Amino acid sequence: MLTIPGRPVRTCEGYSRRELMRIGGAGLIGLNLPEFLAWKASAAARVTSPTKAFGGAKSVLLLFLQGGPSHIDIWDPKPEAPANIRGEFKAIPTKVPGIQVSETMPLLARQMDKVTLIRSMSYTPVGLFNHTAAIYQMMTGYPPDKVSPSGQLEPPSPRDFPHMGSHISKMKPPDGPMLPFVEMPRPLQESNVIGKGGAAGFLGKAYDPYRLYQDPNKDIKLDDLSLRADVPPERLKDRFALLKGINGSMPDLEKAVDSYALNEYYQKAFDLVLSGKARDAFDLSKETDQVRERYGRTTFGQSTLLARRLIEAGCRFVQVNWPSVANGDPETTAWDTHSSNFGPLKNLHCPVLDRSLSALIEDMDQRGLFAETLLVVTGEFGRSPRLGVSTSGNTNSPDGRDHWPYCYTALVAGAGVKRGVLYGKSDAQASSPAENPVHPTELVATIYYALGINPAMEVLNDLKQPRELVKGEPVLKLFG
């Protein structure tokens, strides 16, 4: 029997008050890259009796499979379930005895000894049945304030809760001249709602991601990170000195608006452009053809390789969005398989995901990046275990699967995460957690915790009201 559990969203009402963080600052217009780089270092509140996992990560690489990939057809096969649930794919063994994945992921099966699969991701919709609202929750750690019955949201707003990468950019800026938060190769999107949950919201545009909305499988243009041919470094230095002089003559009251005045913002932009470190990290021609082929000559494959290069160069948070709108055409690259599930997964989606993800895991392990990098792979929800049913009001074909937030799978690795294990367990039909349910906000809290940021700390929202950084607790049992 297919079950729809009623597990409530965690609210963390019992947390004690923490040190307040000052949020905001002057509204600065027309700064572009310097505006983006206007971050301020900020310390996290103390964590009571932190474990070894606290602060074990220096960076996060998030592969976000927007659109809702089918967990039962990829990560959590149920070979003993009835045919209208188990589907067309067989289960295959992995490198770890007792762990199976779908036959659509043969390359990942060989890397399973390096990762943890969370097979008990779960939340009850309460208006979060559609992509935009679910994505917002996954990226910010908060449910959206306004959700229509269809789950559609308003466009991005300066009042939105910030993306976790934006908070991390503010609290953990890079040690050197490097972009703190990069998002690629396209924005988060459902229908005409673009970028919801993908911005800094009430933190201000200075903490927005650096958005590389280009296909890394083609030539990348980085004009804003490059010196113009007619502006040698010496002239750029002169211009910066002039700017410092202008800022130095500003009235004291104006300079007091923010202790980090424009000259500091421009200093960081200046360092970024002049050092060339970020620009070099984006240069995939420095990789061998063999490595590029291993990741796959696809938009997602080369984005994943580029993400690894950015992490190595010192980025704190890199997010790769599956290169299709959340509710796009499954016959192209969308995971939203209402009308056709098995053909697209077998012939399009899974071969790309399997190749790129297995290459990334193997590469990061061999390069030692897992020592201080947390890898997270997830979507906003899974797909309905039973074929052809409607669970979100959408029409589904006989071999289609609808949205399913009640139970799905995420993959995590690195930064002290246990290797070669399962966390949580789904029931016999992959419809509900049987053990250790994990809410998406708890996964967000775990990311903060791994970076040494207390998820229980308080921030001030756009109305200067204190709010927990995330409404969830870290899943400490993921760590060894």
User: Comparing C-alpha atoms, which of 171, 165, 137 is closest to residue 151?
Assistant: 137
User: Comparing C-alpha atoms, which of 118, 88, 125 is closest to residue 104?
Assistant: 88
What is the rounded distance in angstroms from the CA atom of residue 415 to the CA atom of residue 59? 9
What pLDDT score was predicted for residue 181?
94
CB burial of residue 12 (10 Å; 0-12, 13-18, 19+) = middle
Identify the CATH number of the domain defined by range 33-220+282-478: 3.40.720.10
What pLDDT score was predicted for residue 28?
33
- Which residue type occupies 239? R
What is the rounded distance in angstroms from the CA atom of residue 117 to the CA atom of residue 102? 13
What is the rounded distance in angstroms from the CA atom of residue 50 to the CA atom of residue 476? 10
CA distances, 358 to each of 90, 355, 365 (Å): 19, 6, 11
Contact between 197 and 333 under an 8 Å Cβ cutoff? The reply is: no
**CA 450, 453, 456, 462 torsion-angle sign:** negative
Domain chopping of the chain, boundaries: 33-220+282-478
Q: What residues form DSSP beta bridges with 466? A: 460
What pLDDT score was predicted for residue 203?
93
What pLDDT score was predicted for residue 431?
97
Q: Which residues contact 460 (CB under 8 A, 6 or more apart)?
A: 20, 21, 22, 23, 24, 466, 467
Six-digit token string for 255? 């300079």
Q: Which residues of 327-356 are buried (b: 16+ CB within 10 A; e: fewer)?
A: bbebeebbbbbbebbbebbbeebbbbbbbb
Six-digit token string for 277? 């470190």
The values of phi and psi at residue 376, to 5°, are -130, 130
Helix, strand or coil, per DSSP, at residue 83: helix
Alpha-carbon Rg for the chain in angstroms: 22
Q: Which residue has the tokens 């070099």?
A: 280
| pLDDT, one tens digit for every residue, the chain (480 residues) | 444 444 333 323 333 333 323 333 333 333 345 444 443 333 334 455 678 899 999 999 999 999 999 999 999 999 999 999 999 999 999 999 999 999 999 999 999 999 999 999 999 876 667 888 899 999 999 987 766 655 566 788 899 999 999 999 999 998 888 889 999 999 998 878 899 999 999 999 889 999 999 999 999 888 766 544 544 555 545 444 544 444 444 454 344 444 444 445 555 665 665 567 888 899 999 999 999 999 999 999 999 999 999 999 999 999 999 998 888 887 778 899 999 999 999 999 999 999 999 999 999 999 999 999 999 999 999 999 999 999 888 889 999 999 999 999 999 999 999 999 999 999 999 999 999 999 999 999 999 999 999 999 999 988 889 999 998 999 999 999
Please state, as a whole number, how many other Cβ atoms lie within 10 Å of the Cβ of residue 31: 16
What is the rounded distance in angstroms from the CA atom of residue 417 to the CA atom of residue 370? 9
What pLDDT score was predicted for residue 117?
98
Largest CA distance in the chain: 75
First to last CA, the chain: 35
What is the rounded distance in angstroms from the CA atom of residue 457 to the CA atom of residue 444? 14
DSSP string, 227-252: --TTS-HHHHHHHHHHHHHHHHTS-H
What is the rounded distance in angstroms from the CA atom of residue 414 to the CA atom of residue 111? 13
What pLDDT score was predicted for residue 20?
29
**CA 340, 345, 347, 348 torsion-angle sign:** positive
Six-digit token string for 450? 């791994």
CA distances, 140 to each of 102, 188, 214, 352, 445 (Å): 30, 13, 24, 27, 10
Contact between 68 and 339 under an 8 Å Cβ cutoff? The reply is: no
